[in-house]
Each structure stands twice: as C-alpha cells, then as structure tokens.
Amino acid sequence: MVARIEVFAKVEDTRAKVKKKKLESSDFPGKIQELFLVDVFTIDKSFSLSQFEKIARMLINPVSQEFVVSTEKDKKYLNLKKFDFAIEIGFLPGVTDNIAHTVKEEIEDSFKEKFAQGENVYSSQIIFISGNLTQKNSENLVKNLINSLIQRAEIKSYSQYIKDRGMDFIVPKVKLTGKAEVIEVDLDISDEQLTLIGKQGIKNKDNTRRGPLALDLVYLKEIQKYFKKLNRNPTDIELETLAQTWSEHCKHTIFADPIDEIKNGLFKTYIKGATEKIRKKKGKKDFCVSVFSDNSGAIEFDNKYLITHKVETHNSPSALDPFGGALTGIVGVNRDTIGFGLGSKPVLNTYGFCFADPNNSTRYFRDKDLTQEVLSAKKIMEGVIEGVNVGGNCSGIPTPQGFLFFDDRYRAKPLVFCGTVGLIPKKAGAKLSHIKKAKPGDYIVMIGGRVGLDGIHGATFSSEEISSGSPATAVQIGDPITQKKFSDAIVKDSRDLNLFNSITDNGAGGLSSSVGEMAKESGGCKVFLEKVPVKYPGMQPWQIWISESQERMTLAVAKNKWKKFSKLMESRGVEATIIGEFTNSAKCQVFYKQSLPSGEGKNKLILDLEMEFLHNGLPKIHRKTKKPKLDINSRLSVEREYFSAKEALLKMLSRLNITSFEFISQQYDHEVQGESVLKPLQGKGRVNGEATISRVVLDSDQGVVLSQGLYPSYSEIDSYHMAASSIDSAIRNAVCVGANLEKLALLDNFCWCSSDDPERLYQLKMAAKACYDYAVAFRTPFISGKDSMFNDFKGFDERGESVKISVPPTLLISSIGIIDDIKKAVSLDLKFPGDLIYILGETFDELAGSELYFMLNQSGGNIPKVNAKVNLKLYQSLQKAIEQELVASAQSVNRGGLIIALAKTALAGKLGLEIDLKKLPGVVKKDDIALFSESQGRIVVSVSPENSKKFEKIMNGNNFNLIGEVRGDNQFKVMGISGKAIIETDLEILEKAYKKTFNDY
Amino acid sequence: MNKPKVLIFSGFGINSEEETKVGFDLAGGESDIVHINDLINKKFKINDYQILVFPGGFAYGDDTGAGLAYANKVKNHLWSDLEKFIKNKNLVIGICNGFQIIVNLGLLPALNFKYGKREVALLHNKTARYVCRWVDVKVTNNSPWLKDLDEIPIVISHGEGKFFADEKTLKEIKQKKLIALNYIKGEICNYQNLEYNPTGTLDDIAGITDESGRILGLMPHPERAMFFTQRPDWSLLKEKLKREGKKMPLYSPAIQIFKNAIDYFK
C-alpha cells in the first residue's frame, strides 16, 4: 500500500513567510497573498494504517506540527480555506532524495525491518498559494520554483484539489526495463564514424547514442589499433573505461602533452618543475611531504601533523543544476581529503564563485528550438551559494575563506571553486600516513552510497563545452550525511587501526577510475560487477562501472583485516562491500555474472585491458600555440574622463567585485570545530578579509593561513602578468595576517576556455610560465592543482541565433601557510586614533583591467607587473615586523586599488583617517592612478606611534612611506597630489555604499 | 578524587564532539566520545558516566526537523538508561543540535519532572536561513551549569533555533524560572553593531533547563567560545591590553560552563 503522510505547521511557518517574500520580490510583486507549505512523505511499503500513523508521529513535533495520512483507498486531504493553486514539487525518478533516505532509515530502526528492493520513501512539498494569480502566472511560478532537470511539479486548482480529494499519488520509482547486456563495438569503421562515437557516444540497438565519450579521433585510432592487434573488437564497457581514463578531466592531456618547444608539457615543466626546484633549493627546510601524486597535496604542519589541501571546480554541473552542482562540488572535494594517504580529516573548506551580474537578464538557450533555457544569472548564483551552504554546514566543516568575482562572460557557465584542507597525523597506527599501497590479494572494497544512473558521463561531459547534448544524468545531488558517516568511520575510527592499505575517492569516472588508479599500486585488479550494490535493478554493466554516484570511497583491505573492518563499518551505519580483488596480473579485468531465472549465473569476462595500455596508452598530441594579436590601442595610456574621486569611491565600494558579501560569510559556518582565529568578517565594521586563520589543532599555538588570488580581467591583455598578479596577491594576503613565508605553499586551478584554439593555448602557456617564474622567485611551491579546459557555452540567444560564450581565462591561485603563533595574527581593522598609516610598496600607472576601468568601461594602459625580488624583500620585512608585534593592522591592496584598501581598513575599525597622496612612493602624477591603480606588492598598515621607529627600521631598504594617520572621529579624508582635499566623507556614507549591494540577499 | 566521567554522543552527523571534549578535558574531566551505536550495542553504558553531552552537529542532516531523527533513535534504544541516568541526579547538556535532540526527547522543560513529554519546539529562524555569528547571552537562572556566570560572549550557528511554546507552557516555564539564557545586546553586539536576537526566538530565549537545573539545553556553542582567540574582538582587545602593558588572557568566559559541570562533582 502506498501512503502519503502530509506534515504541516500549526504555528507560524517562517519558511513559508520567507518563500512568499522571495517570490514577491522577484517575479510576482503584489500577486501573492498567502502561501502555505506542506511536507509530504510518500511511503511505498506494505504497512497498515495504524503503522503509517505511527510513522507520521515519528516525523513531527506535536507542539508545532500536525499530519494527515492518506492512502489510495482512504484519501484524506487538508481542509484549507480557498486557495488559487496547489503546486506539489518532488524529484524525478532516481534523483538523490536525502530527506526520504533519513525517513527510510528511521522507519527501519523503529520497526526493525528493512525495506525490500523496490520499496521506498519519496519526499515532496506542496505549496498552496492564494493571491491574484492567473493560470499563466502559476505556470511561470512553477518555472521559477523548480529545475526541470531534476524536479517535477503537479499543479491543481482549488476545485480540482477538492474534486480529487487532494494531490495525486505519485511514486517516482526508477523502472529500467532493458536486459543487462554487454555489446561489442565494431571499430573497423571509417574515421567519420569513429569521430561520431567520440562526440555522441556508442550506438544503442535502437540507434540512439549513449552520450559523449569525448575522445578525439587520434585517441580512437589508437584504440582501434590496439584491438586490431588483439584481433577482436572492444566491448562497450572497455571503450567507456578508456574514455573515462583518457578524458581531459582525468589525464589532463592539455597540460601533459608537448606544446611548442616544451617537450615535457606545461605541467611537468612549469608546475611540477617549479616545486622540484624549490624543494631542492630549500634543502632541509623543505616542508612539502606529498605533492601532485595523491588526491590532495600535503605539507608539514608540526612534528606531529601534516596538513593537506585540494581545490576543485564543479563548473559544468553547476551550470545545469547550481544547487546540486555546488553541493556535490564541496562534498566531492571533501573526499579528496578523506582519500589522501590513509585518510585525512577535513578541517576547513574554501570557496570561490565566478558569476555573471545577478541582474543580467539576457536569456540563452541550449537548443535551437529555444526550449532548454539556461537558468537565470540570479538563480545560478543563489543555487550555488545554497549548495555550498548545505554541503559545508551539514558536514561540520568550517568554510571561512572565499571570494566572489563577477563578469558577464560567466553568464552561461559559472565557475565554482571548492577546496578542502585536511589534518592527518604523520603516523597512522604503525604506518606513515601519507603512504598507501594496495597489495595483490587485497579485497577491493566499496563503502558509502550505492550506485545509480545519476552521474553517468560526468568526466567526459566536463571535458567538453555545454550544449543541448549535455546529458542530464550528469546532474546529481550530494548526500552529506552518508558521507559524514563514512568520513568519521575512516578518519576517526579505523585509520589508526591500520585496517586498510589504500583508499581513494569515487569521483569522476566512478569505479572505473578509482579501481583503475589503485590497481596501479598492486599491478592489476579483477572486479565482479554484480557485487556492486546498486540503487535499483536493471542497470547496464558499463553504467555500474562508470557511474559517478556520490559519496563512495574505494579501499584496499587485506583479507585478514576484512572481518574487523566490515564489523566496524556496520556498527557505524556504513555499507561496505567486497567487489573484487587487487592482483599483480598487469591487467584490469572486470567480470559480470548475469543472474538467470534459475538462480544460476554465468561469470563472463567483459573487460580485459592491459594496465599499461589503460594508463599509458594514450598517444601524445604535440600542441601548437599562436600568439594572439593584441589591439595596439590597449597598450596606450588613455586620457580618462574627469570624475569626482569621492563619487568614484562610493560607486566602487558598491561594485559586485568589491562589496561586502557578509550574507555568505554569515550563512557558512566558520566557527564549527572551534578553530576560528581570524574570521571572514573582521573588526567592528565586519569587513570581508582577504585571508583567514584557523587553529586546526586546539592545543597548538600554530594556525593555518588561507588566501586566494584571481585576476581574470587581466587575462586577455597579458596572461603572464595575470598569473603573476594572482600569485603575488595570494602570497601577500597571507603574509599580511602573519603567515610565515618559509612555510607557504600554493595551489593552481586553471579554468580555461576553447583550449583547442592555439591562441588560447598561448595564453595558457604564458600563464603556466609565470607560475614557474614567480613560484620559484617567491620560493612558494605548488603542492596540488586542477584544470578545467573547456568553459565554453555553445547555444542560442532569444532570437535563435547561435552564440558562443567563453569564460575569460581564469586562474585561481590559493595559498596555504602556517602562522607560528596565532596570538600574533594581524587583523585588517584600524585599532586606535593617532596610529600612523603606512603604505608599503610602490604605485605605478597600472589601471588596465582594473575595477575602475571595468566600471568606466575603459580599456588601454598597463596591467600590473610583479617584481618578485622587490616584493619578497618587502614581505620578509613585514613578516619580521609582525613577529615583533609592531603592526596594529594590515590590509593588502587588491582589486580596486589603494583607496579601497584604505576604506576597508577604516570601515572595519570604525575609525576615520587622513591620507596625503603626495607621500606615495613612486612616480605617481595623477590622483586617479594613486587611488585606483592595482599595482601589486602593496600593503596598508597601521602602527602605534611608539612602535613607529622600530617599524621603520625593519622596513628600511624597502619602498614605503608614512602617508597619514588614524583619526578619532569618523571623517575619511584624502589630500590629492595637488595638495587639495579630493575626498572628504564619513564612515556612515562609506559603509552604506559598501554594504548596500547585497542587502536583500 | 577521580575525575568526573563525561560521555559525549557522536554519530549520524553530529560534528562538534571533538572540540566539546577539549572543553571538558581542559576543565578537568575525563571524557569519551561514544558513537550512539556503541551504546546500543552495549559496548559503552550511559550509567558509567556522570555527565551526558549531546553536542552540536547536523544529525541526519536536520531532515524532517532538526534533532528529531536522532531523538527517535535514542528513544527507540536508550530511553530506560537515560531515565535512570537523570534520576541519579547527573548532569545533561544539549548544545545546539543537542538542544534540539533533547527537546524532542522531552528532557526539556519536563514540567513537573515528566521526562519524555514534548512541550516546546525549536523552529526555523525568522530568516529561514542558517546563521553563524557571535552573540551575547545573559544567565537568568540558577542552573549548576551556569554558576558564577552573568553575561557570556558566545557563538550561534544554526538554522532552527527559534524557541516556541504555547502560552500556558511558557507561563509555567517562566514561573518556574526555567529560562536559563537570554540573548541581550551586550559587548559583542555593541562591538559589531549587531542585532541581538538574530533568530527571532520567543522572548529572546537562548537556553532553558529542567526543573532541577541539571539538564541544560542551549542554542549557543560554549566550545566555540572558550579561548580568547576565538572571540571576534580579540585582536583589538589584545592591542589595547598590550598598550596598557597587560597580558592577553588565554580563555573566554564560556569555558566556565565546562568547569562548572566538573566542579559540580567535586
């Protein structure tokens, strides 16, 4: 029997109130009078009515809630006063439904009875709305409320609702009818046919295609050759496996392949090359422990611990389902932590979002018929922010550090950066924790969630641009609690007992990738696919093998440890299953036993690939670049239009790229785990800082410093200096709060576009070269990185004209470092009236690509160039001054220039200041350059008068100057180069400008 | 004298157990983090302890209402042990998610000592959104947990912390002085010019006790506010102290909550 349990509030429901307000403020002003929410649990299991009622009582707090139980035989419904429409929103079949999952577990625990295959719980929500809504309005409302890729909606008018005695009984059960089978793919075909397989996938029997393999013709021909040699055709699962393993997403071919004169490729030469050189130079002071080889990079924290860090992107899925995409992004990168070494504990999350202006109303479509509309800029932004909220908060991992960057070229494809820092003791039981090795004979064990059709072709899909062919099954929703259970079971309960030899996460490529990778450690593997726990029956073998269903890890467990390990997992509510064995056969082999009606089955070898070919068989492509022609004008300095400096400052403070994003900082838990030292919002005025500090070991004086640097607006002008600026900023921000330069490491995330275009490749090459030059110069090694090369959208505008939108080449540099004594951390707020304000570093005419030019819509001039030698010396001096506790506040000069840094430090301290621009070091001839140039290597610090002599002595030999003083009132005053006051305002006005943009978020 | 033994619940999404343990251990207790299934399997026993802690977290992802699913699990398996533990005049605390759990278990307010009956609720915040920030609370009753404390700068991080009780229940709660903590505009809210009751909780209620005072439930997190360097204003205070030639303290007032619990058994 199927029952609907409908739960509703009998006191005021703030969720309904907020939803009503949100709908009114967006598309339906004045149209909604009342909104009422009902949570529905559809239970598909044979219970009696009284049992259903018992379940309902479990699901409410009777003080504030009531319920109705309705069955198909005995329909009951809520007797509400007349409304216009009832809209029920639920998930499509197969979409992860976390609430339902919890309810199912509760029922099983309470009734001590498991759900059988096919029985299930489904959650949905009814929104009852009354107001002045037409039928058309209600349809638009549904469009506003749901994402049709993952959700369904049912609308009923009041009369229909009464007539039907409520909403319908909908059981979104997954029904797969096809028989499981493995097909042979004929590769003895023309190049055109091969290309088609690469672009659209393997052909099904009904002539439909399975979705992109994203394999270039060169790769397909190599595969063709390999199987010709074997004298057979590949099976579908073999071809799918090669596509996953060889995907740009997994093998990073563009970074690995030879390019122009660089034979070893960009990664080996410039990124890894920099780290190797720095480590050698540092000698005994080398603090890198595990770089580039594992799921995260690791550096030494102290004698006892390592810290790990990894930053990922989840761009393509976030474009289609922003909430689910971002949620799986953050919980996915958590697994890169749990999957480091023998299991690192996630202790910090970071984020970074590149969006279009949420008020951008341009419409785009994925198809020519204009039926698949790209989500609005606002919806993408809100969904992504919410996804990281749920992922981070539910997992109990603080998320203090992050940034927002806006540019309309991110309209159809946002960039969603998610990072996780982990903490792991150097020794896990008797073993070194960062070393792992699956041994021949070890069981291959999968733990966590089950495998479903969600997340098929995620890896190959992200290796391509988004278009109408983008598979909807690539969209999925994360389940943080399932993950939290195994995360605790691994890093808190079993790691130090040495119950497993190796562990890795199931991310892109699913089992095919995790098992394939781990098999390298032992030298081979054999897997029995029918043993893999699935969400529902009827999946094809190849689907089980490559599905990216979330929240799973793969482990190597020695046979004699299995009993203890499985018992422990069971006691933690974690499903653990043996799915095969690691071998040293030099082969990756997959078997599948199809159950026959008799119960007997035949074990068939369906995948049989040599490890060597699987991992090293892909041919290298020699890539060529071409220097883009730069508009000659953009090199010339242009005469800027006259503007009032004060007006410009106020406008700049409200800009999306500068304004406060307190609404995010306050909804992302940054206090859990008790680590917070320097918070995302600092000072009396709650200003977003550029770096945070966390005390990840509560009895240590040391802390972890995190920051980021990113300048996509410089990329088209000069990607080399863009990368240099990002590195300088990420380092400078960290030094400003007290990081030790000797223990500072970097991570790179390249999010490029059209990476098959030689001009884009040239920009990539130059950016990578800058990474080498500047990392080496600053002696800050790269420890981990990730790239995403095709952030392009190919679709149609409102008139059906085809459009391509490419993101600007974007490089995120993240810094992770150590502060030796958290008690010496420096916040950005001015502290006391009378303190002296210094500028460290020189200001140049470097306004090209700046936020000011972005605002004025101007181009031309120079972008900042970084002098690493000069800056390193300056940063070392600052570090010394901070160690001696001479610095009262420090604010790195970033986007927006000096005046924005001054405004932030004053706003945070709620103290006024007076500055004289004449005193700026360097040859600055114009006020607008002095105020808004984004020259790197600059810091605004305040120092108490009694410390000024000592401070100046330490800074001696650097370019710096005393430029002003902290005032006792709230006046903000800047004297221009001519000697006249060019800005005279007060902090209330500045604060309003700084905080108004996201006031309603 | 033996150190008082503290049992800290974990599992199924609870996430603040480790820092909570740090608090009790610093205060002189001996605490064990115990997965709820290890209590159900009888590997550990509630009644081997003197202090029972339901820490903060996201048990079962707050699905179907924060704290509800975990409370059901406790009720299904551990209720009689829990009743015995309470009868023996031991201490219980529920912090944030833990508060939501013990409210759903009916341990609070347990009017007339009727443990197990639900009488209040913690609803979605007035913004229907998770909020993480510092607040000020004032101690308003005589719970042993809150001895020698008056105003406490402390952290909240939750989506469902709006206290609700019907009029009659609220009246009785007030009459019996069971409201333990109220949000007030104190030093933190003045420092950062913040709204003092950001969740819209009824009568500014941040925490309540049972009639014995030995069971405390509170939305704020003392374990995130026990060190001086956890405070949002610490770097300004440090600079001020330094200029006055004074040293910066190690702890923040909320540490006293852990000390009170341990001292109660001395």
User: What residues of B are in contact with residue A65 (Cβ under 8 Å)?
Assistant: 65
Mean pLDDT value of segment A416-445: 96
Q: Over the stretch B14-43, which tens digit does the pLDDT of each residue have?
A: 999 999 999 999 999 999 999 999 999 999
**What domain range includes position B131?**
5-264
Adjacent-strand bridge partners of A68: A6
Quote the CATH superfamily of domain A827-1001: PurM-like C-terminal domain (3.90.650.10)
The predicted pLDDT at position A27 comes to 76
Does the beta-carbon distance from A683 to B236 stay under 8 Å? yes
For the beta carbon of residue A32, count every other beta carbon within 10 angstroms.
Answer: 20
B13 to A396: CB separation less than 8 angstroms, yes or no: yes
Structure tokens at A132: 């002045």
Using one digit for the tens of pLDDT, what is the confidence trace for A277-335? Answer: 999 999 999 999 999 999 999 999 999 999 999 999 999 889 989 999 999 999 999 99
Distance to chain A for B216, nearest Cα, Å: 20
Q: Which two tokens stand for residue A509?
A: 């490529």
Does A460 or A169 have the greater pLDDT score?
A169
b vs e for A709-736, b when ≥16 Cβ sit within 10 Å of the residue's Cβ? bbbbbbbbbbbbbbbbbbbbbbbbbbbb
Span of A212-216, A854-858, A895-899, B157-161 with lowest mean pLDDT: A212-216
A106 CA to chain B: closest CA distance, Å?
7
Is A205 exposed, middle or buried, given 0-12, 13-18 or 19+ CB atoms closer than 10 A? exposed
pLDDT of residue A466: 56
> Which of A59, A109, A695 is opposite residue B73, by nearest beta carbon?
A109
C-alpha distances in angstroms, A362 versus A25, A137, A406, A409, A412?
19, 21, 15, 12, 10
The per-residue pLDDT of chain A, averaged, comes to: 93
CA distance B167 to chain A (A): 12
Taking CA–CA distances from B223, the nearest residue in chain A reads A674
User: Which of B96, B119, B158, B160 is the catalytic position?
Assistant: B96
Count: domains in chain B: 1
Residues 6+ apart with CB under 8 A from B177: B140, B141, B142
Residue B196, domain CATH: 3.40.50.880
Q: What distance in Å separates residue B158's CA from the closest CA in chain A?
A: 9
Q: With beta carbons less than 8 A apart as the criterion, state whether A863 and A722 touch.
A: yes
A501 or A459: which leads in pLDDT: A501
pLDDT of residue B259: 98
Q: Encode pLDDT of B189-227 as tens digits.
A: 999 999 999 999 999 999 999 999 999 999 999 999 999
pLDDT reported for residue A632: 45
User: Could you tell me the pLDDT band of residue A636, with boundaries at 50, 70 and 90?
Assistant: very low
- The predicted structure's pLDDT at residue A594: 77
Whether the bond between A712 and the residue before it is cis, its omega within 30 degrees of 0, is: no
B35 part of the active site:
no
Residue A110 with chain B: CB contacts under 8 Å: 72, 76
Q: How near does any CA of chain B get to the CA of A460, in Å?
A: 31
Name A103's bridge partners. Answer: none
What is the ipTM, given to two decimal places? 0.97
DSSP string spanning A496-545?
GGT--SEEEE--TTHHHHHHHHHHHHHT-EEEEGGGS-BSSS---HHHHH
Residue B223 designated active-site? yes
Active-site residue B221, yes or no? Answer: yes
Q: Look at A922 and A496; give whichever has higher pLDDT.
A: A496
What does the pLDDT average to over A961-980? 96
From chain A, the residues in CB contact with B236 under 8 A are 683-684, 827, 829, 831
The closest of A714, A707, A712, A750 to A732, measured between CA atoms, is A707
Encoding tokens for residue A330? 């953050």
Residue of A nearest to B235 (CA): A827
Q: For a pLDDT cut of 90, what percent of chain A falls above it?
A: 81
Q: How confident is the model at residue A179 (pLDDT cuts 50, 70, 90)?
A: confident
Mark yes or no for CB contact B15/A484 under 8 Å: yes
For residue B243, which residues of chain A lie inside 8 Å, CB to CB?
Answer: 832, 944
Query: Is A667 in Cβ contact with B130 (below 8 Å)?
Result: yes
Closest residue on chain B to A19 (Cα): B128
> In the prediction, which pLDDT does A642 show?
57
Collapsing DSSP to helix, strand or coil, B61 comes out as helix
Report chain B residues whose CB lies below 8 A from the CB of A682: 232
Chain B interface test: which of A20, A676, A737, A889 (most B C-beta within 10 Å): A676
pTM here is 0.95
Q: Do A831 and B236 touch (CB under 8 A)?
A: yes
Mutation site, A112, A671, A736, interface B, largest B CB count within 10 A: A671
Nearest to A666 among B103, B132, B235 (CB): B132
pLDDT, average across residues A899-910: 98
* C-beta atoms of B123 and A484 within 8 A: no
Angle made by CA atoms A215, A219, A225, in degrees to the nearest 5: 135
How distant is the Cα of B127 from the closest Cα of chain A, in angstroms?
Answer: 7
Q: Which residues of A touch B155 (CB under 8 A)?
A: 671
Asked if A857 and A743 touch (Cβ cutoff 8 Å), the reply is no
Nearest neighbour of A671 by CB, restricted to B10, B155, B166: B155
pLDDT attached to residue A472: 53
Q: What are phi and psi of A547, to 5 degrees?
A: -55, 140
How does residue A125 score in pLDDT terms, banded at 50, 70 and 90? very high
| pLDDT of the residue at A635 | 45
A575-630, pLDDT tens digit by residue?
Answer: 999 999 999 999 999 999 876 655 566 789 999 999 999 999 999 999 999 998 86
Domain limits, chain A? 2-163, 827-1001
Residue stretches of chain B with pLDDT short of 70: 1
What is the pLDDT at residue A207? 83
pLDDT tens digit string along A140-166? 888 888 888 888 999 999 999 999 999
Flag whether residue B247 sits within 8 Å of chain A, measured between CB atoms: no
Q: How many CA atoms lie within 13 A of A660 on its CB side?
A: 25
